[in-house]
Amino acid sequence: MANPVVQAVNVTKTYNRGKPNEVTAVKHASLKIDEGSLVVLKGPSGSGKTTLLSLIGCQTKPTRGEVIIRGKKVSKLPEKFMNQHKRRHIGFIFQHFQLIAGMSVLDNIVLPLIPEGVSPKARNKRADRLLEQFNLAHRRQFKISSLSGGEQQRVAIARALINNAGILLADEPTAHLDSKLTSDLLDYIEQLKQSGHTILITSHDPVIYQNPAVDRVLEMKDGQITS
Ligand SMILES: Nc1ncnc2c1ncn2[C@@H]1O[C@H](COP(=O)(O)OP(=O)(O)OP(=O)(O)O)[C@@H](O)[C@H]1O
Ligand SMILES: [Mg+2]
């Protein structure tokens, strides 16, 4: 019997509350994602996909409702503990990667391990395994700014995996990729699913949401999950 590892319960997010530019980006959204499943969140631009992913990814707190990750109500935790839970359980791939351009590939990948107090030796060992896996070993000491788009994307995936987090969230991961890189990314995602990761991806891209490896497609419209 599958367990929900990610749950959103009646979650609402309002930006700029009480101001003239107030926007309710997510309205009463509820979802459950089972361990080991691959779920895609699709919907038109502005429908609230990134906001919902950020709520599940503990990047921001809901205005109302609960986000529950591995049984813990993270939305109720003080910031420090929410961040700790996030680092242990969630890997996040941002649409624009959010890598640090002036730092090396290695230093970017090990970054999430520093607040966890992992020793430099252990950090490098884990990073080297991922560098090998994502065919980046020859770029280990290169600055991010000198890499191609596809290489940067692989670094972003490696950084999201360095904590051995079982939950991977990716926001429009193919938005800037050509068809070869999109197909490579799908291969990585399928491998991660096979190794037991639970994955939630936002995407407009039919190549993603029509992929046979996808277990469920959720649709958003005007801040609500409609299917
Ligand atoms: N930080 C913010 N402050 C204020 N409003 C925001 C913020 N982030 C998003 N919004 C607004 O919330 C709504 C939902 O935005 P969101 O980025 O979640 O949509 P999306 O479905 O991811 O869109 P896209 O497909 O274009 O990425 C939009 O109207 C947007 O302008
Ligand atoms: Mg978005």
Structural domains of the chain ordered from first start: 4-225 (3.40.50.300)
- What is the value of pTM for the model shown? 0.93
Instruction: State the helix-helix crossing angle for 149-161 and 120-133, rounded to 10 degrees.
Output: 130
Q: What is the pLDDT along the chain (227 residues), one digit of tens a residue?
A: 467 999 999 999 999 999 999 999 999 999 999 999 999 999 999 999 999 999 999 999 999 999 999 999 998 899 999 999 999 999 999 988 899 999 999 999 999 999 999 999 999 999 999 999 999 999 999 999 999 988 998 999 999 999 999 999 999 988 878 888 888 889 989 999 999 999 999 998 899 999 999 999 999 999 999 98
What secondary structure letter does DSSP report for 176?
Answer: T
Q: Specify whether the CB–CB gap between 87 and 163 falls below 8 A.
A: yes
- Minimum-distance ligand 1 atom for the alpha carbon of 172: 27
Task: Give Cα 70 to chain centroid, integer Å.
Answer: 16
Query: Which protein residues have a CB closer than 5 Å to ligand 2 (ion)?
Result: 49-50
With a CB cutoff of 8 Å and minimum separation 6, the contacts of 38 are 189, 193, 199, 201, 213, 214, 215
Question: The tokens of 27 are what?
Answer: 């309205």
Q: Specify whether the CB–CB gap between 44 and 156 falls below 8 A.
A: no
Task: Residue 153: name the closest of 127, 125, 138, 172 by CA.
Answer: 172
Is there an atom of ligand 1 within 6 Å of 221 CB? Answer: no
| Residues 129, 175: Cα–Cα separation, whole Å | 27
Is there an atom of ligand 1 within 6 Å of 19 CB? Answer: no
Ligand lying closest to the C-alpha of residue 221: 1
Is there an atom of ligand 1 within 6 Å of 51 CB? Answer: yes
Instruction: Give the number of other CB atoms < 10 A from CB of residue 201.
Output: 26
Task: Residue 162: name the closest of 133, 186, 187 by CA.
Answer: 133
Is there an atom of ligand 1 within 6 Å of 179 CB? Answer: no
Q: What is the model's pLDDT at position 145? A: 96
Q: What is the model's pLDDT at position 181? A: 84
Side by side, the strands of the sheet bearing 23-34 are 23-34, 4-15, 64-69, 72-73
Spacing, Cα 5 to ligand 1 middle (Å): 25
Q: Specify whether the CB–CB gap between 29 and 224 falls below 8 A.
A: yes
Say what the alpha-carbon torsion angle 129, 132, 136, 142 is, to the nearest 10 degrees: 50
Is there an atom of ligand 1 within 6 Å of 119 CB? Answer: no
Ligand lying closest to the C-alpha of residue 29: 1
Question: The tokens of 83 are what?
Answer: 């961040």
